[in-house]
């Protein structure tokens, strides 16, 4: 069985794009969330192997989401997805517990390589 992924982004088209990329490459998308609040609840429910997390979202942003998930599971594998203009936020996210980041727009192979590196480092 493939590794289980939670996709978090307030843009439905972005969630769909990530889902298509990872599903075609043997990963199972266990859930999708539109903000950090939903992400935390879904993380607790599904305990995915990895989370892709957008930074800019309503209600609870990605950095707050990372902090909340890491407080539940300090070993959580979270990859931040951000636009180039959010470099300072990426640093903040990594300090909050994110394992890596990828800059939008990204190529499918960049996303897959980042996922594989994070999972390999965690031993998952």
pLDDT digits (tens, 9 = 90+) for 97-122: 999 999 989 999 999 999 999 999 99
Give the count of domains, the chain.
1
Q: What is the pLDDT of residue 89?
A: 85
Instruction: List, as own/partner pairs, every contact residues 67-72 make where C-beta atoms lie below 8 angstroms and the sequence separation is at least 24, other chains included.
Output: 67/96, 67/97, 68/36, 68/39, 68/40, 69/39, 69/40, 69/43, 69/97, 70/96, 70/97, 72/40, 72/43, 72/44
Q: Which domain holds residue 88?
A: 4-122
Which CATH number do you get for residue 39?
3.40.50.2300
The per-residue pLDDT of the chain, averaged, comes to: 94
Q: Which pLDDT tens digit goes with each residue over 30-41?
A: 999 999 999 999
33 has which bridge partners?
8
């Amino acid at each position: 069985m493939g590794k289980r992924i939670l996709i978090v982004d307030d843009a439905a088209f972005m969630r769909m794009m990530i889902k298509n990329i990872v599903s075609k490459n043997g990963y199972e998308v266990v859930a999708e969330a539109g903000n950090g609040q939903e992400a935390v609840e879904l993380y607790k429910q599904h305990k995915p192997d990895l989370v892709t997390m957008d930074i800019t979202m309503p209600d609870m942003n990605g950095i707050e989401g990372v902090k909340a998930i890491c407080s539940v599971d300090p070993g959580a594998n979270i990859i931040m997805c951000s636009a180039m203009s959010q470099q300072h936020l990426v640093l903040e996210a990594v300090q909050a517990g994110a394992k890596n980041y990828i800059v939008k727009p990204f190529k499918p192979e960049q996303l897959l390589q980042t996922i594989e590196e994070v999972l390999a480092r965690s031993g998952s």
